[in-house]
Amino acid sequence: MRILFVLFLLSLSASLFAQPVPKDEFINTKEGTSLVSKRIFFNNCKKWIKGGENTPEAAQICACIVSKLDGHYSDADLKALRKEHGQATLSMLMEKDSFYAKMSPDCYSKVWDKNMLFSEQQVAAVKEALKEGIRKSEKDSIDDKKLDAYCDCAVKTMKERKVNTSKWNDLSDPNSFLYNEIAYRCGRVPVKNVSQTTGWTAALAADVHGPDRDTVHVITVDAMTKLKVKLGPFTYIWMLDSGATDLLISDSLALKMMEQHVFSEKDFLGTGTYTIANGKTVDCKVYRVNNVQIGKYTMDNMMLSVGKEVDVFLLGKSFLNKFRRWTVDNKDELLILER
């Protein structure tokens, strides 16, 4: 942002001399030497706030900058600059010290406290900051083709809500309204994840074979819902976890299953990072498996994640989303599934 203002100041770079005009119409030195017209500086300042030059926010920022510059430099500063370069301009003075770099963010922050996205320039800056933040925070590789569209949608939502600096941290808080509105409107962060869990679709329902409705007996252990799952010849008690993405098992069980040809390396889809209900993040290999049996249902095209640090087998959201409706009856300890 500093570079932009320096550029427009170059248009005001006539050599500075004392001028017989009222002080309040000019940006002056401490001693009263006029440097540049406040009106010209103010108008040029607003022009460099692209797409927001006519907003009250732009006027507030530029008035703040004019106020801070007026009386900041001294005649001695002018004299030293002329001695070194043969001339002295306001832009040269601003380049010479760090005052502008400290002052400009202060003027902007007062506006950002109310609305960060008042101009096209600010929208573009926030969008780039959002993209960079996503790239740094995600372990999985990013789908760049989708990232731009995702950030456009997110920034549009933020602009509609007039997001200010106090709300910036809400972007990474999964419990905040802003986070969830963006997730609902814009979808998930576009990582190149082999597991693309979505809501119910007819295509997902086609992977389920069995009756239109079934009730599966469950048990509650330590306040967690568990049920019987059969995969190949292996039957275990798995935990129902709507906070997990896919089916999740240990690498030791996966090895046994591969020995029994339940799935093979031909079914390998890639790797992914998964967050389970306790907030723990695990790195997994992902396979596609068929013939998963729960109650009277048999399901195909299930995403099975395999992790080294897994001690509890999980049934995640990709299982539940294959059903049009599902309900846990806590009183009677039943999982009610409807295709």
Q: Has residue 319 been placed in a domain?
A: yes
pLDDT attached to residue 310: 84
Residues 296 and 247 both lie in one domain: yes
142, β-bridge pairs: 191
Burial class of 96 by CB neighbour count within 10 A (0 to 12, 13 to 18, 19+): middle
User: In the chain, at which residue ranges do the beta strands (DSSP E only) sit?
Assistant: 26-28, 34-37, 208-209, 213-217, 219-221, 224-231, 234-240, 247-250, 268-275, 281-289, 292-294, 297-299, 302-307, 314-315, 325-329, 334-338
Q: CA 319: distance to chain centroid? A: 27
| Model confidence, pTM | 0.50
| 10-residue averages of pLDDT along the chain (339 residues) | 39 39 75 91 85 83 90 91 87 79 78 79 84 75 80 90 82 84 82 58 87 94 91 94 84 94 93 68 87 96 88 88 92 94
Rg value, the chain, Cα: 31
Q: Has residue 196 been placed in a domain?
A: no
Residues 179 and 259 both lie in one domain: no
Domain boundary among 68, 95, 112: 112
At CA 294, angle to CA 224 and CA 258, rounded to 5?
A: 100
| Rounded-to-integer distance, Cα 309 and Cα 175, Å | 27
Q: Six-digit token pair at 253?
A: 């069980």
Helix 144-160 to helix 120-137 angle (10° resolution) is: 130
Residues 225 and 285 both lie in one domain: yes
CA quadruple 291, 294, 299, 302: dihedral sign: negative
Q: Six-digit token pair at 205?
A: 């329902």
Residues 213 and 295 both lie in one domain: yes
Domain boundary among 96, 112, 128: 112
Domain boundary among 80, 112, 144: 112
| Rounded-to-integer distance, Cα 197 and Cα 147, Å | 18
Residues 331 and 208 both lie in one domain: yes
219, β-bridge pairs: 226
Which of 20, 112, 96, 23 lies closest to 64, judged by CA? Answer: 112
Residues 6+ apart with CB under 8 A from 164: 112, 113, 114, 115, 116
Q: Has residue 152 been placed in a domain?
A: yes
| Rounded-to-integer distance, Cα 333 and Cα 217, Å | 6
The domain of 131 spans 120-186
The total number of structural domains in the chain stands at 3
Residues 16 and 95 both lie in one domain: yes
| Rounded-to-integer distance, Cα 293 and Cα 213, Å | 15
CB 225 within 8 A of CB 192: no
Residues 215 and 100 both lie in one domain: no
CB 208 within 8 A of CB 338: no
Residues 230 and 326 both lie in one domain: yes
Residues 211 and 267 both lie in one domain: yes
Residues 42 and 68 both lie in one domain: yes
**Could you tell me the CATH number of the domain that includes residue 317?**
2.40.70.10
| Rounded-to-integer distance, Cα 282 and Cα 20, Å | 72
Residues 327 and 213 both lie in one domain: yes
Q: Has residue 24 been placed in a domain?
A: yes
